Structure 1
Amino acid sequence: MAKKITIDPVTRIEGHLRIDCEVDNGKVVNAWSSGQMWRGIEIILKGRDPRDAWAYTQRICGVCTTVHAMASVRAVEDALDLEIPVNAHYIRNLIMAGHGIHDHIVHFYQLCALDWVDIVSATKADALAAAKLGQQLSGWKRNSVQEIKGVQDRLKKFVASGQLGIFASGYWGHPAMKLSPEVNLLAATHYLQALEYQRKINQVVAILGSKTPHVQNLAVGGVTNPINPDSPSTLTLEKLFNIKTLIDEVGDFIKQAMFTDMAAVGANYADWTGYGAGVLNYFSVPDMPMDSKGTMYDLPGGYIPNGDVSKFESIATHRENTLYDDIKESIKHAWYDGEWNRSPFEEDTEPNYTGYDYESKYSWVKAPTYRDKPAQVGPLANVLAMYLAGHGPTKGYVDAALQTVSKLAGTSVGIDALHSTIGRIAARVIRCAVLYDTMGVQWQALIDNIGKGDMATFNPPVFPSGEQRGVGFHEAPRGTLSHWIVIENGKIKNYQAVVPSTWNAGPRNDGDELGPYEASLLGNPIADAELPLEVLRTVHSFDPCLACAIHLVDGKNIPLSKVKVL
């Protein structure tokens, strides 16, 4: 007899996500994904100046900040058909890549690793053996026995105190945990080191964006960073070379620690290549524009229907008609007024909570579709698209990852293994390495263009009378993000954000097809229904960000907090 389990809220994510599953004979046979907050940013923006929208939209989330700012300015620029100076593109690209690397490091270690790594087990490891293992896997300079033993001693103090702090909510000793104590200790060491390197790459974002989170340098028409090699108060060559040093330091960690950790975990959990595939329609957009007109991109995008690589369709620019015409959202199973299925240009966001009903409406998240079908977005979709498009760095990292996993697992592992829970995690690490490479490309392009005497970073926008429509696309850390704007006589008439976690966390669509989270859970094993670690593994592999898909509002006007201003 099937048993229903509820995880509410799912933790180690941003926002409030509820997952309901039916479990029968140790496997998930049905699932529902529910966002438990409402996002009202779209309503707040109505009637405002389009040039201000980016400052509001990056407050949609405390994690996915800069990505919403970027999509927002791109939406307005698209509506106005406004060209952007190439220096502004390069600076924006550096910020976006830096933000993406930071996000991927945090997800892999701080948000996801504890589903696979048993921290308590690491206290029993042989530190010398763990160090030797690390040195066999890579030349990472911080795999010394002294540093690893120091981490183990800190973990032992945590455990002995009975208060595990940041490690308090793990499923320690769960039968689904497979890593040896030595691998657990090595991963725990890199977990703590990752805190340092995500901070370093965030320094790049802060230098170029004036602060982080919530960058301050974007503007419709470019960026506000003046470039003057002779003025210390502007973006100088000295600052740019400091940025390059930070990028390279983080690159060493990605390639020599993070990449090998991914391979080790993948090899030890090879059985998880058989779980979590779900929706196999993959959708991603190109990014990192390299010219003022937005016709050339450093990173390609594309669409793969039903996982069939022979039917891969390249998406070369943000101006392709399929991006404007084939994206819709359904509210059949979401708490909004009506049951429509529309283009975001024609949507509204009128809340209508009717209670949780499995058969009807059960989420604040809408259900996006591409060509009327659900689609999975995120690093896996992006990596597969770049690989099939022949992107050199992506092909190199994918092949290296599969070769390393195959060697460690003692069996051949092909690219089809990526259609899985563990493959989704591997793709995130691969994309992190690709973003590191593209930061080098963007940095050099900026230096070269400055060397030609071009210092321009901004083109002023002009708002004509009448109506203009535009879409801003960005391949964010969690996948394809788009902001849709309708401008009338210089003011915002309508605004909609279709975000990665809306694509993936969405409920059943207009045709009652399961969303990607829901579909990915079918067939997942459950060793203990009271401790559903396996459900968390698959859901966390998407890196959910529910604050992006929805946002908090209190209809009763009850104060949530008070801040005293001195």
Structure 2
Amino acid sequence: MTTAREQNPDLVEMAWDPITRIVGSLGIYAKIDFAKKEVAECYSTSSIFRGYSIFMKGKDPRDAHFITSRICGICGDNHATCSVYAQNMAYGVRPPALAEWIINLGESAEYMFDHNLYQENLVGVDYCEKMVRETNPGVLQLAERTECPHAGEHGYRTIADIMRSLNPLEGEFYREALMMSRVTREMFCLMEGRHVHPSTLYPGGVGTVASVQLFTDYLTRLMRYVEFMKKVVPMHDDLFDFFYDALPGYENVGRRRVLLGCWGSLNDPAHCDFTYENMSDWGRKMYVTPGIVVDGRLVTDDLVDINLGIRILLGSSYYEDWHDQEPFVTHDPLGNPVDMRHPWNQHTIPRPQKRDFNDKYSWVMSPRWFDGKDLLALDTGGGPIARLWSTALSGKVDIGYVRATGHSVLITLPKSATKPEKTFEWKIPERNGELLSNALERNRARTYFQAYAAACALYFAERGLEEVRAGRTQTWEPFEVPEEAVSVGFTEAVRGVLSHHMVIKNGKIANYHPYPPTPWNASVRDTHGTPGPYEDAVQNTPIFEENPPETFKGIDIMRAVRSFDPCLPCGVHMYLGNGKELRKLHSPHAFNTA
């Protein structure tokens, strides 16, 4: 295979490593053609090996959610929830309805908390006045002259005023969002005891003591967030629409083919019995509808089909193949054959080695979804764009506060302290007749999904109160651990698809594989040479930054990567191919960590 460097020896090699929220493990290595002002080649790397699938073996399955929540210090509750779902299936236990409403309220609060913190205090910095001044001063000048179409709803007269409000630590909106993250974190703790590793979440239900006061305390904080979102949605619409107008062609930054995966989340206790045999039916009743969207078409919303189509390829990752191992599972509980590359049959055999971009270069494997013909490199778009797109196309959700129309999602936020009732409509993104899965639309969807989560939480709180007032206060159902079981949990972590596949033998865990959104989004070139979503989104991204190579920050590349919510950028090194370092920042909160 001929590389971009071989075709054009004048390409400039640049690297941003690390880019991450938790530890310094995500790196982006790119070759940039400054003459054409575009990225010619990109590699996504991860330098850390976790090994949860190895040391979960032999553990008591009842400990699974406590252990796997430690996979992440940001979305640990998503892992705990998914693990509990997998355990419920394995144990054949159905939690009381009240427990499910409480879990839904906790997960909704987590969506609100994490998306708010990331959107406003982290990715928002890429669009703040200080960053735009350093990378696109011409755009800032235009922003100073551009009045906001929705100024009456959010209070900022010009686009530049919005940008200034996003300046880290000193911006008005930046500080307001920080305060709101505290409110949403309190909401989570009310339902699940502790953030980010829940202390009251168990298979069979929750240990939370439900009362009218509990839900009242939650609703009081939720209505503050509802009021906040009535400002946030129109503000971000104005900001993101401006970039399309200010920089013609910006729709191609971070753009890739529409290949979206959503595993669904927020179960309806009236339908969800956690049995694999009924998973197709209760999966479609989720308040975020599962689905795989290819080129704008909903391929399936069946969790059984989604499960059976998952394949784990090694490709350019540091592992040995397991093709000569015995399968753990040959058929699913419905009698369907299970592929050797399915997570139920995966063996994790690490083989550390020197990084080689022509061979092995990352610890991230290459999850793919097999549609019967092709192995698709699905992405989650950071979570919200896939969730909203799938839910919109399915057209199944209709709970008053939110309604899927088949082509959009309507979100109604009721009257709050100072603002009247407001309905927002997230529409499947397109421009000039073309569907868009790009940096700006991933970010826009994140804003709308915050409103979606808030609207759902209003509904869940009402249902929870109904249970308490009717005297149905049981929140846990007893269970027994079977000697053998095969199970899976499906949900949506904040930034995308999350599954936990478990095999129990002799009452102990024989195989356990959690697959959060990062392996899907950050996957490397697979066995067939197909790049992962980060790589694909950055390759061929146009460069609009006005700086020359000597002072280049790579803001368009960073916007593309960060639109996926790849976990917080804690600091970035940048260097040329000859090893000369241009910039090194140690501060985890520095605004110019591009």
TM-score by length of 1: 0.80
Q: How does 1:85-104 map to 2 (within 5 A)?
A: 85-104=96-115
1:192 is aligned to 175
Name 2:415's counterpart in structure 1.
Answer: none
**Equivalent position to 1:20, from 23, 26, 29:** 29
Partner of 2:239: 265
* Letter of the structure 1 residue corresponding to residue 529 of structure 2: D
Per-residue CA deviation, residues 275-309 of structure 1 (Å, 9 max, x unaligned), is 2222421111222111251523222121112x233
What is aligned with 1:152?
A: none
Listed one character per residue, the Cα deviations across residues 207-242 of structure 1 (whole Å, up to 9, x for unaligned) are 11111121101111111123xxxxxxxx32112111
Corresponding residue of 1:156? none
For the Cα contact (< 8 Å) 1:197–1:250, is it kept in 2? yes
1:119-158 equivalences in 2 (<5 Å): 119=130, 137-140=151-154, 143=155
Q: Distance in 2 between matches of 1:261 and 1:339?
A: 50
1:521 aligns with 2:538: yes
Post-superposition Cα deviations, 1:347-404, rounded to whole Å, max 9, x if no partner, equal 122221111111211111111011121101121111111111224166225995679x
Change (3 A) 1:247 1:416: farther
Which of the numbers 8, 32, 37 marks the counterpart of 2:17?
A: 8
Counterpart amino acid of residue 364 in structure 1? W
What SS class does the counterpart of residue 364 from structure 1 fall into? Answer: coil
**Secondary structure at 1:543 match in 2:** coil
Q: Residue type of the partner of 1:239?
A: L
CA RMSD in angstroms, aligned pairs only: 3.0
Asked if the contact 1:134/1:186 (under 8 Å) is kept, the reply is: no
Match of 1:477 in 2: 494
2:273 aligned partner: 293
Q: Which residue of 1 aligns with 2:162?
A: 183
Measure, in 2, the Cα distance between the counterparts of 1:144 and 1:363.
Answer: 44
**Partner of residue 225, structure 1:** 208
The structure 1 residue matched to 2:505, chosen from 485, 488, 493, is 488
Does residue 277 of structure 1 match 2:247? no
CA deviation vs aligned residue, 1:468-516 (integer Å, no higher than 9, x gap): 1111111121111001111112111111111101100000122211111
Given the alignment, which residue of 215, 230, 245 partners 2:220?
245
Q: Which of these residues, 357, 376, 379, is aligned with residue 373 of structure 1?
A: 376
Match among 198, 206, 213 for residue 215 of structure 1: 198
The answer to whether the 8 A contact 1:263-1:401 is kept is: no
Note the C-alpha offset of 1:144. Answer: 9.0
CA distance in 2, matches of 1:113, 1:514: 27
What is the identity, as a one-letter code, of the residue corresponding to 1:374? A
Return closer, same or farther for 1:440/1:180 CA change in 2, 3 Å cut-off.
closer
- Asked if residue 463 in structure 1 is aligned to residue 463 in structure 2, the reply is no
TM-superposed CA distance for 1:122, in Å, is 9.2
SS at match of 1:289: coil
1:111, distance to aligned residue in structure 2 (A): 1.4
- In the alignment, the residues of structure 1 paired with residue 436 and residue 459 of structure 2 have an alpha-carbon distance, to the nearest angstrom, of 27
Aligned to 1:555: none
> Where does residue 395 of structure 1 map in the other structure?
409
Residue number in structure 2 paired with 1:443: 461
Q: How does 1:45-84 map to 2 (within 5 A)?
A: 45-84=56-95
Q: Does the aligned pair in 1 maintain the 2:254–2:559 contact within 8 Å?
A: no
Distance 1:139 1:279, change over 3 A: closer
> What SS does the corresponding residue of 1:28 show, helix, strand or coil?
strand
- One-letter amino acid of the structure 1 residue matched with residue 505 of structure 2: E
Q: 1:503 to 1:194 in 2, by over 3 A?
A: same
- SS of the equivalent of 2:311 reads strand
SS in 1 for 2:501: strand
8 Å Cα contact 1:88-1:458 kept in structure 2: yes
- The CA deviation string for residues 113-154 of structure 1, in whole angstroms up to 9 with x for no partner, is 111112378999xxxx99x967952445xx499xxxxxxxxx
8 A contact 2:316–2:524 mirrored in 1: yes
- 2:277 is aligned to none
Per-residue CA distance 1:235-281 (angstroms, 9 max, x = gap):
3211211110101101111221x212211221111143222222421
Q: Which moved more, 1:103-112 or 1:337-346?
A: 337-346
State the match for 2:582 in structure 1: none
Q: Give the direction of change, closer, same or farther, for the CA distance of 1:180–1:244 in structure 2 (3 Å limit).
A: closer
Question: Amino acid of the residue matched to residue 39 of structure 1?
Answer: R
TM-score by length of 2: 0.76
Letter in 2 for 1:289: N
CA contact 2:260–2:379 (8 Å) conserved in 1: yes
Partner of 1:313: 299
Question: How far has the Cα of 1:15 moved from its partner?
Answer: 4.6
Q: Please give the secondary structure, in 1, of the residue aligned with 2:176.
A: helix
Which secondary structure does the structure 1 equivalent of 2:122 belong to?
helix
The amino acid that maps onto 1:261 is M
Residue 36 of structure 1 corresponds to 47
User: Equivalents in 1 of 2:91, 2:76: separation in Å?
Assistant: 24
Query: Which 5+ residue runs of structure 1 have no aligned equivalent?
Result: 146-178, 227-234, 407-411, 548-566
Rounded to whole Å, the distance in 1 between the matches of 2:82 and 2:435 is 32
Q: Is the 8 A contact 1:16 1:546 kept in 2?
A: no
Closer/same/farther in 2, CA of residues 383 and 135 from structure 1, 3 Å limit: closer
Q: Which residue of 2 aligns with 1:303?
A: 292
Secondary structure at 1:300's aligned position in 2?
Answer: coil
- What whole-Å deviation, never above 9, does each CA across 1:321-367 have from its counterpart, x for those lacking one? 21331111111211112376711111122221111111211111111
Instruction: Provide structure 2 residue ranges, at least 5 long, that are not aligned to the other structure.
Output: 1-9, 138-142, 275-281, 324-339, 398-402, 413-422, 570-594
Asked if the contact 1:463/1:489 (under 8 Å) is kept, the reply is no
- Distance in 1 between residues matched to 2:241 and 2:345, nearest whole Å: 47
Distance in 2 between residues matched to 1:324 and 1:381, nearest whole Å: 17
Contact in 1 for aligned 2:254/2:557 (Cα 8 Å): no
Q: Give the % identical residues.
A: 25
The separation in 1 between residues aligned to 2:61 and 2:148, in whole angstroms, is 51
Alignment of 1:286-365 (within 5 A): 286-291=264-269, 292-294=272-274, 295=282, 296-305=285-294, 307-309=295-297, 312-315=298-301, 320-338=303-321, 342-365=341-364
The answer as to whether partners of 1:331 and 1:339 remain within 8 angstroms in 2 is no
Q: Is the 8 A contact 2:48 2:363 kept in 1?
A: yes
In 2, the alpha carbon distance for the partners of 1:223 and 1:416 equals 45
Measure the CA separation in 2 of the matches of 1:108 and 1:433: 13
Richer in helix (by share): 1
Counterpart amino acid of residue 384 in structure 1: W
Give aligned pairs, total.
486
Quick one: distance in 1 between partners of 2:17 and 2:251?
26
| CA distance in structure 2 between the partners assigned to 1:417 and 1:110 by the alignment | 28
